[in-house]
Chains A and B, each alone.
Chain A
Amino acid sequence: MSDAVANVLEVSELDTSYGRIPMLRGVSLNVPKGQVCCVLGANGAGKTTLVKAVLNMVKADKGTMRLEGKSMDSWPTHKRVESGIAISAAAVGTFHKMTVEDNLKMGAYYIDESLLRERLVEIYQSFPVLRERLKQRAGTLSGGERTMLAIARAVVNKPKLLILDEPSLGLAPIMVEEVFEIIRRLRATQMSILLVEQNAVKALSVASSGYVIQKGAIVFSGTADALGKSEFVENPVM
């Protein structure tokens, strides 16, 4: 990349392994600023491992990662979050025993209370469902509402990079539609999003560029249009 700042996240030559089993091999990926970048792949391809490596929940054996041009290889998870990476994933649950409000408050663990109020007003406008359930325990929400809560919690802090790991997982078609509507709205606010999905058609409807990951390696990268026409999306056995 000629202009380093044009990318929010740059991953180059990333290797990870679980014990002696190699997982990711030489993964390079760029998330351009203010755009949605999707990563497509089948189960076990290494999508979630990639996400975990970006947050340092899985240690990288090799490779470098940069956030807005700054090397973040030595940063622990909480520092990466503090620096502006937010995640919403199935592995990162909501806090069942706490109210929706407190869950949202946790999303803004690093901001001032005075800022929090206005951020939350914005959140209620984008997520009207949550506003009605503010004082309810998160454990009493439906699956769809919980996904909404997880996304809302991730964006309270206005992250530089939002990682969505399979937001459509386990949701009814109507809820999937709603989740992607939210992603479109977030895209309109110039938020940089790394969208990791199995649902290729849906993901490509919001993304501007994309990658395909297979058996731990990137096998295709390009614009969303090019990706949509490639064999990986046309061929149902991905």
Chain B
Amino acid sequence: MTDLNRSPDSSGSQVVRMPEKILTIACNLLVFTLAFLMLRLPYKFSLTLVALVIVALLYIERSGAINAVFSLYIRNKKLAALSAIIFMLAIPVLLARFRYQSHIAVMSVIYAMVCLGVNFQMGSANMVNFAPAAFMGIGAYSMGVVTVKLGVSPWFGLLASIILCAAAGLLIGLPTLRTKGYYLSLVTMALQLAFTQLIKNIPYIGGPNGLSGVKALNIGGFSLYKSYTFFGAKLAPHFFYLIFCLLTLTVLYYVAVRVSISRYGLALNNIAQDEIAANCLGVNVSRYKLFAFLIGAVFCGIGGALYASLTSFVGPNDFTFARSLIFICMVILGGMDNPAGVLVGAFLLTVITEKLRDFSDYAQLIYALLLVIILVVRPSGLIPKRVRNYCALFGRELLPSPQQQDAENKSS
């Protein structure tokens, strides 16, 4: 905690600062190397690595070292962001020749987008939404209808997904103004089940057979999902798609972080803790609840649209209640109300699910066991929410500390 509270100017001389920068880059390098290895290695090693990472995360959280890591990143914000983007873009390059591993990477990125969306409702505002898969489905079907039925560019599909999901988010958000807690969860659960049934019964969008032939995103005739050959090496078709998804995720992550540290995030946290108190301090509770649903739905919708464009097929079985539960598990496992934790949760669970395909008989068992263990050991997730600290985040002291103020009093 003392580390977190230290203002940037008092963090030491230049001598201390240089290794700090190197340390930031090293931390990022470690994170992305681990991510790459988990994707690349065969399941035995990959899963061992996943287990080790989980244990390590549990350990550094318990020992408090994670606060130091976070304050390191906050102090060197620009450097951390820049190096993270560079390392992140190295992953598609390194995976360029491996089709299946690239596929896992794309899936985990898409799931991470959806989880960031769920986090607005579940993490920040404590409204458990059991319908993220339905939102994702709305996004995916918008993409499907626009490209297959209307035959227009997939970019319009992406736009349609965003607009329709925003509208759906508002609509589904409305009952939440009247219901709370378990009742709210039941409402969203009912909506999720109704959604699956609904799309199965609309012949226009293919009914139970779904829609196939969804176009991949392209930039001026250059398809993002296609096998290209570079210097004699055949690249996986996911190469450009993965880069595009990673950049989209970066933008969404930035938005999520900005929201969570802004007045909006503060208001959502207040609503989660004490709705009456929030209202009594002038927070327009209905507006913020709708906001959480709207922005969450848009995130899920973007994820859904990218998913449809990747698999070139949308069917009702991809957007079931079970899928919604997986997203909720990812958010809980990663750490509620912490965008970084949510990314970790989404990535680890996707990798575990995919790597366990090799012996599918035990896959569900191991998956369930892992969740139970983590929920018992650490119910708040692998990287739980941090205590807010606006001052350190913006690099300035909003409020004078007692010491500073004493000094001011003495001088005046």
Residues 82-105 of A, flagged 1 when their CB comes within 8 A of B and 0 if not, give 100001010111111111011001
Whether a CB of chain B sits under 8 angstroms from the CB of A55 is yes
Whether a CB of chain B sits under 8 angstroms from the CB of A4 is no
In the complex, are the beta carbons of B274 and A92 less than 8 A apart?
Answer: yes
A78-B282, A91-B276, A109-B263 known; A99+B387 contact, CB < 8 A: yes
In the complex, are the beta carbons of A116 and B398 less than 8 A apart?
Answer: yes
Of residues 232 to 287 in B, which have CB atoms within 8 Å of A's CB atoms? 263, 266-267, 269-270, 273-274, 276-285
In the complex, are the beta carbons of A95 and B274 less than 8 A apart?
Answer: yes
In the complex, are the beta carbons of A78 and B266 less than 8 A apart?
Answer: no
In the complex, are the beta carbons of B266 and A106 less than 8 A apart?
Answer: yes
Residues of A within 8 A of B279 (CB): 57, 77-78, 81
Whether a CB of chain A sits under 8 angstroms from the CB of B48 is no
In the complex, are the beta carbons of B269 and A98 less than 8 A apart?
Answer: yes
Whether a CB of chain A sits under 8 angstroms from the CB of B78 is no
A81-B282, A109-B282, A132-B402 known; A93+B277 contact, CB < 8 A: yes
In the complex, are the beta carbons of A81 and B281 less than 8 A apart?
Answer: yes
Stretch of A33-41, A117-125, A166-174, A219-227 that contacts chain B: A117-125
Whether a CB of chain B sits under 8 angstroms from the CB of A134 is yes
In the complex, are the beta carbons of A109 and B273 less than 8 A apart?
Answer: no
Whether a CB of chain A sits under 8 angstroms from the CB of B5 is yes
Interface size class of B (residues with CB under 8 A): 20 to 34
Whether a CB of chain A sits under 8 angstroms from the CB of B1 is yes
Whether a CB of chain A sits under 8 angstroms from the CB of B179 is no
In the complex, are the beta carbons of B263 and A78 less than 8 A apart?
Answer: no
Residues of B within 8 A of A55 (CB): 280
A96-B273, A101-B399, A121-B400 known; A106+B281 contact, CB < 8 A: yes
Question: CB-nearest residue of chain A relative to B402?
Answer: A131
Whether a CB of chain A sits under 8 angstroms from the CB of B388 is yes
Whether a CB of chain B sits under 8 angstroms from the CB of A153 is yes
In the complex, are the beta carbons of B388 and A98 less than 8 A apart?
Answer: yes
Whether a CB of chain A sits under 8 angstroms from the CB of B405 is yes
Cα–Cα, bound, A95→B269 (Å)? 9
Contact of A121 among B270, B389, B405 (CB under 8 A): B405
A92-B276, A99-B388 known; A109+B281 contact, CB < 8 A: yes
Of residues 116 to 168 in A, which have CB atoms within 8 Å of B's CB atoms? 116-117, 120-121, 124, 131-132, 134-135, 137, 153
CB distance from B308 to the nearest CB of A (A): 38
Cα–Cα, bound, A179→B29 (Å)? 54
A102-B266, A117-B398 known; A92+B277 contact, CB < 8 A: yes
In the complex, are the beta carbons of A120 and B399 less than 8 A apart?
Answer: yes
CB distance from B233 to the nearest CB of A (A): 52
Residues of A within 8 A of B269 (CB): 95, 97-98
In the complex, are the beta carbons of A98 and B402 less than 8 A apart?
Answer: no
Residues of A within 8 A of B280 (CB): 55, 57, 77, 81, 87, 89, 92
Residues of A within 8 A of B284 (CB): 76, 78
Cα–Cα, bound, A103→B53 (Å)? 35
CB distance from B2 to the nearest CB of A (A): 10
Query: Please, how many residues of chain A have a CB less than 8 angstroms from a CB on the other chain?
Result: 37
Question: CB-nearest residue of chain B relative to A116?
Answer: B398
Of residues 41 to 96 in A, which have CB atoms within 8 Å of B's CB atoms? 55, 57, 76-78, 81-82, 87, 89, 91-96
Contact of A110 among B282, B285, B390 (CB under 8 A): B282
Residues of A within 8 A of B263 (CB): 109
CB distance from B408 to the nearest CB of A (A): 9
Cα–Cα, bound, A94→B390 (Å)? 19
Question: CB-nearest residue of chain B relative to A97?
Answer: B273
CB distance from B322 to the nearest CB of A (A): 32
Cα–Cα, bound, A36→B276 (Å)? 25
CB distance from B278 to the nearest CB of A (A): 8
Whether a CB of chain B sits under 8 angstroms from the CB of A216 is no
In the complex, are the beta carbons of B270 and A95 less than 8 A apart?
Answer: yes
Cα–Cα, bound, A121→B398 (Å)? 11
In the complex, are the beta carbons of B282 and A95 less than 8 A apart?
Answer: no
Residues of B within 8 A of A77 (CB): 279-280
In the complex, are the beta carbons of B277 and A105 less than 8 A apart?
Answer: no
A93-B274, A95-B269, A135-B5 known; A107+B399 contact, CB < 8 A: no
Of residues 278 to 312 in B, which have CB atoms within 8 Å of A's CB atoms? 278-285
CB distance from B391 to the nearest CB of A (A): 8
Whether a CB of chain B sits under 8 angstroms from the CB of A13 is no
In the complex, are the beta carbons of B387 and A153 less than 8 A apart?
Answer: no
Cα–Cα, bound, A97→B269 (Å)? 9
Whether a CB of chain B sits under 8 angstroms from the CB of A113 is yes
CB distance from A81 to the nearest CB of B (A): 4
Residues of B within 8 A of A57 (CB): 276, 279-280
Residues of A within 8 A of B281 (CB): 81, 106-107, 109, 153
Residues of A within 8 A of B387 (CB): 98-99, 137
Which 8 pairs from chain A and chain B are nearest by CB? A81-B282, A78-B284, A92-B277, A92-B280, A77-B279, A95-B273, A93-B274, A109-B282
Offer 19 A-B interface pairs, CB within 8 angstroms, sorted by A: A55-B280, A78-B279, A92-B277, A94-B274, A95-B269, A95-B274, A96-B273, A97-B269, A98-B269, A98-B270, A105-B266, A110-B282, A116-B398, A117-B399, A117-B400, A124-B405, A132-B402, A134-B402, A137-B387
**B interface list, Cβ under 8 A from A:** 1, 5, 263, 266-267, 269-270, 273-274, 276-285, 387-390, 398-402, 405
Given contacts A78-B284, A82-B282, 16 further A-B contacts (CB under 8 A): A55-B280, A57-B276, A57-B279, A57-B280, A78-B285, A92-B277, A93-B277, A94-B274, A98-B273, A106-B270, A109-B263, A109-B281, A113-B398, A116-B398, A134-B401, A137-B387
**A interface list, Cβ under 8 A from B:** 55, 57, 76-78, 81-82, 87, 89, 91-99, 101-102, 105-107, 109-110, 113, 116-117, 120-121, 124, 131-132, 134-135, 137, 153
